[in-house]
Amino acid sequence: MALRLVQVNFKARDDSALGRFWADALGWGVSSEGRGSTNVEPVGFVWPDPVAVCVDVVTVPDPETVRYRAHLDLATSSAVHQTELVAHLLELGATPADVGQGDVPWTVLADPEGNVFCVLEPRPIYRDTGPIATVVVNCADPRAMARFWGEATDWTLHEVTDDHARLRSAKGVGPYLEFLRTSGVETVWNRVHLDLMPYSGDDQAAEVARLRALGATDADVGQGDVPWVCLADPEGNEFCVLTPG
């Protein structure tokens, strides 16, 4: 039994507009599951596949503006590519963001709804991830988070220290999932969360029970009667367990 990280979910005021921004930013396409939901994924992609972690943008009433605990880091292949990508993102409607990063080689931006993300300088470790290098989650204890998420998913732990943990699909493709030690992590409802999916033939209820035994707790984000289950990891980060597929 195991779960796969299949998408990052963004709460938005306008899912269509924000979805189009991220599609253009990543060079991907968009599709819709219906009013209020826009999926962003590679063109020709057959979901789910670990080669990509997709983006799901969902409209919610008046999403709060908070300090986000999860964000995307985008990969670049050269200094020229980084410069060109930043310029392209600014043309699409991104804005420079200051999160106290100081003088760093990466560029911090915010999408049109204020979600902060980073455009990284070229790094060999991310050369084959696709446009999303890594999904980063701020936390207080990377080692504890690595233990939970390593057991919750079938992803492989590549590195863990007191300050940082890095996991990736066991197939060695797609982006990384990283936990970064950050002081003053807030326990607030997050506009960005992760969606996990059981493998075809596995039992959603059994997976949810397994996650609770690992330390997950039930989360109410106003989801109502839905086929997925909302939980929170041991540090309070909400995530959803979708139906098997």
Mean pLDDT of the chain: 90
- How does pLDDT run across 150-197, given as a tens digit for each residue? 999 999 999 999 999 999 999 999 999 999 998 765 544 467 889 999
In this prediction, residue 137 carries a pLDDT of 93
- How does pLDDT run across 227-244, given as a tens digit for each residue? 889 999 999 888 999 999
pLDDT level of residue 69 (50, 70, 90 thresholds): confident
pLDDT level of residue 136 (50, 70, 90 thresholds): very high
In this prediction, residue 184 carries a pLDDT of 63
Q: Which domains are present in the chain? A: 4-241 (3.10.180.10)
In this prediction, residue 191 carries a pLDDT of 75
Average pLDDT rounded to a whole number, residues 40-62: 90
- How does pLDDT run across 193-224, given as a tens digit for each residue? 899 999 988 999 999 999 999 999 998 766 66
In this prediction, residue 28 carries a pLDDT of 97
pTM of the entire predicted model = 0.92
Cα 166 to Cα 169: distance, rounded to the nearest angstrom: 11
- How does pLDDT run across 71-117, given as a tens digit for each residue? 999 999 999 999 999 999 999 999 999 888 889 999 999 999 989 99
